[in-house]
Each structure stands twice: as C-alpha cells, then as structure tokens.
C-alpha cells in the first residue's frame, strides 16, 4: 500500500460515496455491533465495517483493517473502564473512518478539498471527514489506496444497509462466520457478491520482547553498582500527541521511582508498545543512579515482559500486582503542577 496523496478523482469518488451513505442514514436501523466485511479488491485484505450513530452521538462508518483491526474493535466494544480514556482507544484502533462532523472539526485541508471539488455541506454532523487510524498514531489524512478502499466500503455499506432494512436477520452470524462483500473484475468492472467467512483474530496485547543491549548490561555488571532497595516501574498513555518522523503519535510516559523515598529515578516518552524504548529508559535509570534494584514492582504485564531479560541478566526480582504508591504520588504532583501552569 502506497502513501501517495489521493487524486482529484479519488476525492470525487470518495465524497460521492460518503454523500450517498449519509443520505441513506443507515444508523437509523443498524447498530454498531452488526459487523460485516468488505474485501479490498486490490490487496485482498478484509475490512470489518461498523455503522455508527444509532445513539445519535457519532455518525460514521468504521472499516477495521484485518485481524488486528477486528481484535481492536472487539476490545473497544467490550464494556469496561479500560477504554473510557480516548488515548486507550487510539492505542488499539486500526481502521479507516468516514465520519460526519460539524464544520468546526474539519481542518484546512478538509475544507480546501471540499472547495476544490465545488461541494457544499451544511448543518450539524453534515460535513464528511476521512481519517486513517493506526494503533498509537494520531488520526491522519487517508492515502490514495485508503481513499479507494474506503470508497468501496461506503458503497458496499449502502448495499448491505438497504438489505438489512428489508431483512433484519441478514447479518445474523452462521456459526463464527461474518458476511463479507468480495469483488471480481469482469469486463473491466468490479462485480460484488456475498461470501460468508470466518474472521481471523490477532492478540493485539502480545508484543515481541526484544533483547536488551548486552554490551551495556556487561558494562553495568563490571562497575559493581550498589543495590538500591525496591523500585517501581510503570507507564501511562498520554492524550497529547508528539511529532514523529511521519504522522504524530500518542506516546507512553514511562516512569521509574524508588518505593521507599518516592524519588523519581527516571522517566521517558516512548512510542506506544515500544519495549526496546522501555528497556533503554530503565537501563538509563540504573546508569544515572549508579544502582541496581533488589526488586522492581510492576502492574502492567508489558512492563514485566520488557524488564524480564534485564532482571535475569542483573539479578533482581520483578514483582507483579503491587500497588505503585510512589509513582501514583509522582503523577498526582505532576497533574497539580501542570494544572496550575494552565
């Protein structure tokens, strides 16, 4: 999939498909739990479509990409406190989205494209906006390939929604299978048909653990650092994006604190799920404080996984499930400080 900018023809087709979808208003009779698929005719990847807006809060079509996208959708859709925070939602969301917003939520590029196409939109929740979401990334403008796929998804969503209105049982699952719209080229045109397919889910919580810098660990061993009691290590997802080499991303703020004194031993911003960055930050805390912990208390499995190779090499224990009172105190101070600065 390329990162090229959509052509004027791509935009025309996408806005036309969005207008037809909006005119139909399928959210009036469909719920966001009624999932169906649209296969990308170019790549064969499945997009799992979700009609949003039944509750009158957010009108959109979400196209969750592949196994990771579908697993992320199920995580978000499952009731619980974990995804009440928008930053946590963005951590797992892998999808294309056509939404309908108030004009004030469109940026200058959105408005310029609409102007270039000679289109007019009015009213609350009446302005189309198209965004690409990747886990941990800032919502970003769609590429040409994404625009084409999203156009197909909107067109097929209209077809499916009309059929659901006439037959509410259309999307009822056959075992584990979901209805997927697939296309074949005939005479230079795409011909779409139904196919029932079993979705393949991916464990998005599973992240490969890298090996830490062995030379760096050997240097720490050679210096015979003192042992410094119990440390706490944790991270939290930040709601404010930072600018990376490409699209901005929502980082993790990783912190290391001394349990007994509540002193900060180290902190660092890292891209989401970057275990190598967590390892680097923890080794830097050891180097900066000229000390190795006897125990490290953690709450998140990802932190335990990232630090396990370091713990084995340097001989300290990782203790899961403990209350991280020192880090909680540091976070309270930070929120008070930045709250007064505003």
Domain boundaries, the chain: 8-197, 214-341
Asked whether the beta carbons of 164 and 29 are under 8 A apart, the reply is yes
CA distances from 244 to 251, 253, 279 (A): 10, 15, 20
**The pair of three-digit structure tokens given for residue 155, joined into one six-digit string:** 């067109």
Phi, psi of 265 (to 5 degrees): -100, -20
CATH T-level fold of 214-341: Nucleotidyltransferase; domain 5 (3.30.420)
| Closest alpha carbon to 256 in 162, 338, 324, 183 | 324
| Closest alpha carbon to 8 in 112, 98, 78 | 112
Q: Beta strand 226-227 with 95-101: parallel, antiparallel or unpaired?
A: unpaired
DSSP secondary structure of 96-156: EEEEEE-GGGS-HHHHHHHHHTT----STT-EEEEEEE-TTBPPEE--HHHHHHHHHHHHH
pLDDT digit string (tens) for 81-138? 555 555 667 778 899 999 999 999 999 999 999 999 999 999 999 999 999 999 888 8
H or E element at residue 326: helix 325-341
pLDDT digit string (tens) for 186-200? 988 999 999 999 987
pLDDT digit string (tens) for 12-43? 999 999 999 999 999 999 999 999 999 999 99
Q: Is the pLDDT of residue 342 over 50?
A: no
Cut 0.85: pTM above it: no
């Amino acid at each position: 999939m390329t990162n090229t900018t959509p052509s004027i023809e791509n935009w025309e087709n996408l806005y036309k498909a969005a207008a037809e979808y909006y005119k139909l208003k399928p959210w009036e009779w469909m719920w966001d739990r009624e999932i169906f698929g649209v296969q990308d005719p170019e790549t064969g990847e499945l997009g799992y479509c979700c009609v949003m807006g039944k509750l009158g809060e957010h009108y959109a079509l979400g196209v969750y990409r592949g196994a990771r996208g579908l697993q992320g959708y199920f995580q978000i859709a499952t009731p619980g406190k974990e995804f009440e925070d928008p930053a946590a939602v963005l951590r797992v969301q892998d999808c294309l989205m056509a939404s309908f917003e108030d004009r004030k939520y469109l940026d200058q590029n959105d408005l310029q494209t609409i102007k270039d196409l000679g289109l007019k939109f009015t009213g609350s929740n009446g302005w189309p906006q198209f965004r690409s979401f990747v886990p941990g990334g800032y919502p970003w403008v769609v590429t040409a390939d994404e625009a084409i796929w999203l156009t197909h998804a909107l067109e097929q969503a209209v077809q499916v929604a009309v059929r659901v209105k006439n037959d509410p049982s259309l999307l009822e699952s056959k075992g584990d299978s979901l209805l997927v719209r697939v296309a074949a080229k005939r005479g230079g045109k795409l011909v779409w048909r139904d196919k029932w397919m079993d979705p393949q889910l991916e464990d998005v919580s599973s992240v490969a653990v890298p090996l830490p810098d062995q030379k760096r660990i050997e240097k720490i061993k050679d210096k015979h650092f003192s042992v410094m009691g119990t440390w706490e290590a944790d991270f939290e997802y930040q709601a404010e994006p930072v600018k990376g080499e490409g699209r901005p991303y929502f980082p993790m703020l990783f912190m290391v604190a001394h349990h007994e004194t509540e002193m900060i031993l180290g902190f660092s911003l890292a891209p989401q799920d970057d275990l190598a960055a967590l390892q680097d930050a923890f080794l830097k805390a050891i180097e900066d404080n000229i000390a190795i912990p006897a125990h490290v208390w953690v709450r998140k499995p990802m932190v335990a996984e990232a630090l396990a190779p370091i713990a084995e090499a340097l001989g300290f224990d990782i203790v899961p499930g403990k209350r991280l009172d020192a880090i909680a105190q540091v976070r309270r101070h930070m929120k008070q400080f930045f709250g007064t600065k505003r």
